[in-house]
Structure 1
């Protein structure tokens, strides 16, 4: 049994992590600015929810205290809709929040597992990306890169705390996660959400771009593995599936697995977002490091993952009632 804090523990990934840690028997404190998902249940004897702003060190100090073993820092603003509408908030929450977490973790002598993103690699065309691959981003005039930059700078901050203050920490770069509870603002979640409501999913720019989609349970297994391992200290790990799939193929699979007589809209283009958005042709991780050092690899393929997601969505009408929050 460990004493852990999960920031962003009411979000998509965080809520699944909390469920996993509670099942393991850990004492969990969740720090978040939002309510927990409609289908999340937990043993109230070993999970406590605290509402607060990740940027407020005084509020955060109520939960990151001496005696905490590990802080899983997942609180962030993420999604195209967020960085197109709220780029300043994206930068502030992601960077300032991380700084507050790291400061308090040093004082509490707690390990930090920081959730970063594949976005930090930007437009590097040399895939699959290893953890030390070069970063290639677009102009700072494009809000598209505010999220990637805020997460990359937070990685720099985490490494700096390790080196200057002796912080025990690990960094995870998630690759295109999907699954139950995800906001309908991302490719798979929005496509499932639309298809089950009889609305044609959208494929931008013909769907030629490719991604490596990772089911959330695989990501949680990797996160818990990293959090429990001393071999992960001081390291950054790619966490994702190695299967490269076109966006068009992923949406076609959603339509097939929902079993509905529906097509998809392939006339949409990202061009109407203007210069604030830039797309990526490919995004594929090299997960050799996770495999060789920690014995982890993705096990849920896209067909199985989408099947589970669709089954869950049908059983949770509260999620289908959420608004489609992808940018129009």
Structure 2
């Protein structure tokens, strides 16, 4: 049994990871703010309220005897990129440095949750872990998230090389599944469809993505945390199927039985110049397959159907506000 800390453990990915780790026998301490009040508290974990930007608060949980810190705390989502850009940057940069410093002091391994956003708009897909980063202007808040996550990755590699901290980096590609707040493509579209409201696409929905069901992502995260072969490595964690955004919403309409047309909006009108969209986002996940034996196994249609079934039985989730702009 390992003693582990999960920062951001009451968020979407974090709550699922905490459930998995406690179920498999780890002693889990969840560290998060009090913002996430509707995610479950898995039996066996211990919750500590705090902010990763405050090192003295983190120091209460990252102590001697901790084996692994899963650092998932982040401010995510387009609504937050535009509405809380400073929080987005500070949580990623300041919070990650605090985690690394404290983990180094007690000899704990760090698993840092990064994002496919770090690749920016590199047109050469699928992206390998060593692919070039191609970003837009600093006037677009969308790139603040990508840049802050990339700087946090630089911190991780720097602490590994300069101080010998054990760490791994995971770049997730378009996670979805039960409990995700309705501000992302699958969750928001499903949230709308189940309330009889037409889902939205931007710019005809021709953009393509690869999606990863939450259970697959959790399995990969636990593997990285428990495997010494993952130390010092960065992994793309994502599905291999590339699909257009419009096609994803059509699957959601089929799953929910909605009788309504898709609402087609313009990105520039809805978000302004502070946001830029990407045409394609596709991972090369062969490294995770070869080193960890992991690959995404949940087909998108199955994942959407499972999420739809969960959502139908979760009135508290359907009552949540739809945050994304139109």
Q: TM-score range by the shorter chain?
A: over 0.9
Correspondence for 2:279: 281
Distance 1:188 1:97, change over 3 A: same
- Segments of structure 1 that go 5 or more residues without pairing to the other structure are none
CA deviations over 1:179-236 (Å, ceiling 9, x no partner): 1111100000000000000110001100000000110110000000111100000000
Q: Report the Cα distance in structure 2 between the residues aligned to 1:110 and 1:138, rounded to whole angstroms.
A: 36
Q: Report the Cα distance in structure 2 between the residues aligned to 1:55 and 1:327, rounded to whole angstroms.
A: 28
Shift in Å at residue 41 of structure 1?
A: 4.5
| 3-state SS of paired residue (2:230) | coil
1:308 correspondence with 2:303:
no
Correspondence for 2:252: 254
Correspondence for 1:175: 173
Correspondence for 2:40: 40
Correspondence for 2:149: 151
Counterpart of 1:269 (choices 257, 266, 271) is 266
Is the contact between residue 11 and residue 37 of structure 1 (CA under 8 Å) also seen in structure 2? Answer: no
Shift in Å at residue 36 of structure 1?
A: 4.9
1:72 correspondence with 2:70:
yes
Correspondence for 2:15: 15
Is the contact between residue 102 and residue 112 of structure 1 (CA under 8 Å) also seen in structure 2? Answer: yes
Shift in Å at residue 86 of structure 1?
A: 1.2
1:66-145 equivalences under 5 Å are: 66-145=64-143
Shift in Å at residue 262 of structure 1?
A: 2.2
Q: Report the Cα distance in structure 1 between the residues aligned to 2:77 and 2:83, rounded to whole angstroms.
A: 10
TM-score scaled to structure 2, two decimals?
A: 0.98
Shift in Å at residue 263 of structure 1?
A: 2.1
TM-score scaled to structure 1, two decimals?
A: 0.97
* Regions of 4+ moved over 3 Å: 35-39
Shift in Å at residue 264 of structure 1?
A: 1.3
1:214-233 equivalences under 5 Å are: 214-233=212-231
CA root-mean-square deviation:
0.9
Q: When the two structures are aligned, how many residues end up with a matched partner?
A: 325
Q: Report the Cα distance in structure 2 between the residues aligned to 1:241 and 1:177, rounded to whole angstroms.
A: 9
| 3-state SS of paired residue (2:110) | strand
Distance 1:139 1:39, change over 3 A: closer
Counterpart of 1:59 (choices 57, 60, 70) is 57
